[in-house]
Structure 1
Amino acid sequence: MVDVFAVADIIVKHIRTHYPQDVAIVGYYGSYLQGRATERSDLDFFFIPATARGRQVECQFIIDGISFDFWPIGWERAEGMAASEEWNTTIIADCELLYVRSEDDLARFMGLRETISNMGSESRAPDLIGKAESVLKDCLAGMAKMRLAESSKELSYCRTQAYEIVTDIFKSLGFLNQTYYKRMWGHYREQVRNLPIKPDQLDHYLDTIMFSVTPSEIMSACEKLIADTLGLISERQSSQVETRSYKRWMKGYFEEELGMMNKLLTACEKGHYETAFFVAIRLQDGIARTLYAAEKGRWPGIADLGEHRELYVRYGYPDLVALLDQTDFEPLRLAVLQLIEKLENHLKAEGVPLNRFGSVAEFESFYISRA
């Protein structure tokens, strides 16, 4: 059995002798640190270069059938791991240091661990929920590929796509629970099982994905797993404190959107249905999303399955999209006029200042007076 630490000692000695100012940190993590290494285990070790020259110590090699990868992590990437920009946070959080260039390097590294220790705080919740949602976008794209691909009926293709989806689900659940995984490759499930927030049927879905030989069953399990995780994200988002502020989210909004409303009026007057179609839908959904942000303190995300439209309806705004009719533009034109008046009055009632002027001279006086 290869003495992996003897190998590490050779590398560290070389660094001390030839690269003492070029490498900031050397550390190892994984099976040897966790006491579960086997005779085939490699040593998971890395270094943080302090200079461009320091990257020269990188090396991949094999000794007696055991592979080694002594790989670099730049400070910027290490900071990203600590901030959960990547999900292999354990490399920074749970490693053992073999070499440290200076006290300053050690302090910087320990600062990263301090960031990780705050991962479960309330202040990190919005950011990590957002990351959980962002990861789920890849699941939705993967699901679409499974449904659309010509090879979707092939077991190998479905299992490969399902693997990517499940991996992203694990990432998403980690972020959603404001934690990270200490073990990879076949050990996610036992860690997810201990998380407080997870799909009720997680084990059932995973069993189907892993053991079924029927592509349609695998696709269905992936779809249900994504839907359940999406629901959990929505629940977490709804549990966050809402910060209602029209002045923050809608200052300048009316002045900008009036251009789109005027464009829609012109399309109605000229009978240009294609312009009316695209502008009406973009305008209505844009207002609905911005109203949601003003009321909730955040933009609706992919976990929002149309709920953001409820505020648009609640406040009595006209349904422009339903009024699209290539044979009769007049109802839509009148609705746009109603929308302009209603939105302006709504924002005024919420204390949002509107920069509306009757002449160029009035604008000039306003603009100059701001200085």
Structure 2
Amino acid sequence: MLSETDFIANSISSDIYQGIFTWSAPSNIALVKYWGKKQDQIPANPSISFTLNNCKTITKLGFSKRHFDKLSENNSTFSFDLLFEGKPKEEFKPKIQKFFERIEKYCPYLKNYHFTIDTQNTFPHSSGIASSASGMAALAMNIMSLEKELNPEMSADFFYKKASFLARLGSGSACRSIKGAVVAWGEHQEIKESSNLFGVAFSPELHSVFHNYQDTILLVDKGEKQVSSTVGHDLMHNHPFAEQRFLQAPQNLSKLKLVLENGNLDEFIKIVESEALTLHAMMMTSMPYFILMKPNTLEILNKIWKYRNETKIPVCFTLDAGANVHVLYPEQYKNETLQFIKDELVGYCQNGQYICDEIGFGSQLILEN
């Protein structure tokens, strides 16, 4: 079992003066939710997610060795420029600065380089889709590509585990966007090699019904949330139902593990929808309490229940920490489900916007021509 100290890059066996890497990393949507965390981005309960395919961040990392003048300059600061869609984005820099500060212990070479971070999303900015997970995952992959150049003997297994470990320190759920179609994060006795420090790909055979599983994301409200996820996580510390929730999540993960293997969609629907509503129940019963769902969110949920009851098509929903609805369904029902969405659900979306996505496979290195 790897510990935090195993991720400290103690020795550099090679050197590199400049270069560019580009990685894409996807968003993910949790099926069993993580809500509440301990110090250093450690989850209060295990979670498991579908990796998405189309909603992703693409980040190019340029780097060059810094030359220090002993009289006028020292290497006590991080040096980086941040571009979003090719243009400087100063308001994003504090988050990257904080990320570098958190990971410096494990990547002590960072201050030796000046970085140019150029990032973009394949989904609309301010769409209500969280970009912190995909963004931090893509940046972590680029940093690990640099570290791989500095330590060429690094194994592929360690490369991906440390990338997930670093991504987690930027945004907890980012550790689930590194590798795998289905990724578990948090210690669980039935998940092989599971860890609080990084995400692990679901290792049993995924039932064929979940291959190319569809996720149509209904953009109900694209405004900024009135309560951030960070604040929401913190409110679990004194939550009256926290203890019960932290017992419930691993039990639901055990049930879902079986479902992912046997393809029982009735059970899948019960677990996933219950988890989504439990997440929001935790928000509504914290102190202070808050509601991130909108009236149109509830209208959509009721429409999905009605449609499923009438047609027996196994379409269900999950929710993120916001108003948007992820509509989940097997690929074989894609045509009729999309027609249902267009006919009955799009009217509840802001500006009629929705995004068609499906289960993906994690981060990818983009090779420059």
- What TM-score, normalized by structure 2, do the two folds share? 0.23
Q: Per residue, is there more strand in 1 or in 2?
A: 2
Rg comparison, structure with higher value: 1
Q: Larger helix proportion, structure 1 or 2?
A: 1
TM-score by length of 1: 0.23
For CA contacts below 8 A with separation 6 or more, give which structure has more relative contact order. Answer: 2
